Amino acid sequence: MAQKPSIPKGTRDFNPQEVAKRNYIFNTIRGAFETFGFQPIETPSFENSETLMGKYGDEGDRLIFKILNSGEYYSKFQEDIIKIIFQILKHNQQYLIKVDKGEINFEDESGMSDIADDFRKITKSEINNFLNKNFSESRFSNDHFIDDEFIEVVTSEVGGSVEKLNLFITLDDNHLDRISQSVFSKYYQNIKTQYITPYISEKALRYDLTVPFARYVVQHQNEIEFPFKRYQIQPVWRADRPQKGRFREFYQCDADVVGSTSLWQEVEFIQLYDTVFSALKLEGVTIKINNRKILSGIAEVIGASDKLIDFTVALDKLDKIGEDKVKEEMLSKGISEAGISKLQPLFTLSGSFESQIESLKGILSTSKEGKKGIEELAFINEAISELGLTTATLQLDVTLARGLNYYTGAIFEVAAPKTVQMGSIGGGGRYDDLTSIFGMKDVLSGVGISFGLDRIYLVLEELGLFPETVNKNVDVLFINFGDKEALFCLKAIKQLRSEGINTELYPEADKMKKQMNHANKRNIPFVVLVGEEEIKSNSYTLKNMVSGEQFKIPLAELINHIK
């Protein structure tokens, strides 16, 4: 069957030129990571679902690509569920079956209101007995009892109307809230069956590199010598709505250190950003820095510690909507007029890093946490002033609030030169505790940064900063005049290749014009022609495809000429 080929939306093919350009960026980043003492690790493309789920918030969970279990797992599960449903329907009765961590709750009453809080608990073996008694073959084995999940089957005939007959299969951990809220109160109309997912999928594509790294650190803690500086350059996948510059498969380039709270790490990460962007000849990059403690301090000072997110979201809009609208938004979120007036110096914060620090000292004089944040920022700024940056600029930006859910200290974001319309091309920060979610006893502080490959690519492209030599193209094509000539050529080609010269023999003895066209279309700079005469004189006619010049020379000279 002929198919019109295409690729899934949000994914990309890369042709040789694109691969070469991407590798140029990867290699630059990798080289800098290594001179800074970071070492590479790689983790699998897919992780167990429980490693990823619940780490990125509800929205993140939805955007994780889940992998369907292989084999007949789903099929068996489906059959079992269907059998139970039929058994229930056969008896024309109401049941609540809850399969939860080795326990099954089984309800057989007619009063709907009783279901939620009054059911008889039965054990796994009881349900197995039940299934064995009622069905010729029970496949309801232990396999189906996954930790922290359950199956729930409810049938009901609400208000005696057959029209309202409903069936629900929910398989989610947080069921009870949903059941009581959205289901029971709304005659079950809003129930969703997506919670079947854990039964048909146990693996998922990695969503970022940080969570797999945390998992790696905990799993291999006994092999790792801390502080551990690792880098990781691998693709990640997100089921985001694809749009310009946002893809469903894209690379992240991360460097992190875990096991040290030293602020020298922050200093070195700023140097690392500067090193990479300088090596890429991308001048005029701004490395913005903020500190979570500054934001918490401000929120504390204005009596809005419980509104940290509302407050920072509003503050973040200062550039776009101006001071008055920001204040308006803060008021509407319940931040007091008195609190906002304390912020006044913040709205006019500008000038050098040092003068901003001075203003912040005034604003945050009553907040212990805020003062700690100022201290950290001042330390980092002084070190960077002493050490100097090559092409980048360090800028304090108190409106910077990315990753507030996990960053606890420094927050970084890198802005492309102002001449280019582009969001951030890098970001990162410090997190106090990466590994406790995976059961690690020792609290490991970490700090890390990430480079946005795709955006850096677009910036370099727009500014024409890819070096001309980035394409490892073929250096020379040998024209094919027939088998005897081809064999003679291949002896020379073997030599050229061993000298690292990218060399090709045109495979067929096609018309010379066609072969020359092939060289032209592929921008191959040199062509070698070998006919009877050349074989006789053991020489090669080298043609420069740009200048048109042409020489008959021996092999050693040919190699020197092309090299």
Residues 69-128 that bind its own copies (CB under 8 A): 70-72, 74-75, 78-79, 82, 85-86, 89-90
Rounded to 5 degrees, φ, ψ at 296 are -60, -40
Rounded to 5 degrees, φ, ψ at 471 are -80, 115
Taking CB under 8 A as the rule, does residue 176 contact its own copies? no
User: Which residue from 149, 172, 254, 268 is in contact with its own copies, where contact means CB under 8 A?
Assistant: 268
Residues sharing a CB contact under 8 Å with residue 273, sequence separation 6 or more, in sequence order: 285, 287, 392, 412, 414, 426, 449
Do 434 and 230 form a contact (C-beta atoms < 8 A)? no
User: Which residue from 94, 271, 291, 408 is in contact with its own copies, where contact means CB under 8 A?
Assistant: 271
DSSP code string of 453-492: HHHHHHHHHHHT-S-GGGS----EEE----HHHHHHHHHH
CB of 395 to its own copies, least distance (A): 21
Q: From residue 52, how far is each of 49, 201, 248, 308, 364 by CA, in Å?
A: 5, 13, 17, 26, 38
**Ranges within 382-441 binding its own copies (CB under 8 A):** 383, 386-387, 436-439
- Minimum CB distance to its own copies smaller for 196 or for 330: 196
CB of 340 to its own copies, least distance (A): 38
Closest CA to 477 of 543, 528, 535: 528
Closest CA to 97 of 45, 48, 157, 152: 152
- Minimum CB distance to its own copies smaller for 7 or for 556: 7
Taking CB under 8 A as the rule, does residue 349 contact its own copies? no
Pairing of strands 39-40, 228-237: parallel
CB of 550 to its own copies, least distance (A): 22
Largest Cα separation within the chain, whole Å, is 103
* Binding segment (CB under 8 A) for its own copies, from list 343-351, 424-432, 497-505, 533-541: 497-505
User: Which residue from 21, 98, 175, 203 is in contact with its own copies, where contact means CB under 8 A?
Assistant: 203
- Minimum CB distance to its own copies smaller for 142 or for 348: 142
Alpha helices in 56-209 (DSSP H): 57-63, 73-90, 124-134, 175-178, 197-200
* Binding segment (CB under 8 A) for its own copies, from list 31-39, 120-128, 324-332, 370-378: 31-39
CB of 362 to its own copies, least distance (A): 26
Burial of 548 (0-12, 13-18, 19+ CB in 10 A): exposed
User: Which residue from 140, 199, 237, 451 is in contact with its own copies, where contact means CB under 8 A?
Assistant: 237
- Minimum CB distance to its own copies smaller for 65 or for 412: 65
CB of 227 to its own copies, least distance (A): 6
Helical (H) or strand (E) element with 490: helix 483-498
* Residue 236 CA neighbour count, 13 Å, CB half: 25
Taking CB under 8 A as the rule, does residue 545 contact its own copies? no
User: Which residue from 225, 319, 324, 337 is in contact with its own copies, where contact means CB under 8 A?
Assistant: 225
CA distance 356 to 395: 10
* Residue 432 CA neighbour count, 13 Å, CB half: 7
CA distance 49 to 68: 11
- Minimum CB distance to its own copies smaller for 210 or for 275: 275
Rounded to 5 degrees, φ, ψ at 126 are -65, -40
CB of 262 to its own copies, least distance (A): 4
The distance of Cα 219 from the centroid of its chain, to the nearest Å, equals 21
User: Which residue from 197, 252, 286, 424 is in contact with its own copies, where contact means CB under 8 A?
Assistant: 197
CB of 443 to its own copies, least distance (A): 13
Do 376 and 291 form a contact (C-beta atoms < 8 A)? yes
**Ranges within 464-483 binding its own copies (CB under 8 A):** 472-474, 477, 480
User: Which residue from 98, 229, 455, 543 is in contact with its own copies, where contact means CB under 8 A?
Assistant: 229
Taking CB under 8 A as the rule, does residue 484 contact its own copies? no
CB of 45 to its own copies, least distance (A): 6
Taking CB under 8 A as the rule, does residue 13 contact its own copies? yes
Please work out the total of residues on this chain that contact its own copies, with binding judged by CB under 8 A: 121
User: Which residue from 84, 104, 154, 218 is in contact with its own copies, where contact means CB under 8 A?
Assistant: 218
190 by DSSP, 3-state: which?
coil
- Minimum CB distance to its own copies smaller for 16 or for 102: 16
Helical (H) or strand (E) element with 213: helix 210-219
Taking CB under 8 A as the rule, does residue 16 contact its own copies? yes
- Minimum CB distance to its own copies smaller for 285 or for 476: 476
Residue the block writes with tokens 């002084």: 382
**Ranges within 142-171 binding its own copies (CB under 8 A):** 162, 165-167, 169
Look up residue 149 and give its DSSP letter: -
Name the E strands within 262-368: 286-291
- Minimum CB distance to its own copies smaller for 126 or for 504: 504
CB of 61 to its own copies, least distance (A): 11
Taking CB under 8 A as the rule, does residue 182 contact its own copies? no
Burial of 100 (0-12, 13-18, 19+ CB in 10 A): middle
Taking CB under 8 A as the rule, does residue 230 contact its own copies? yes
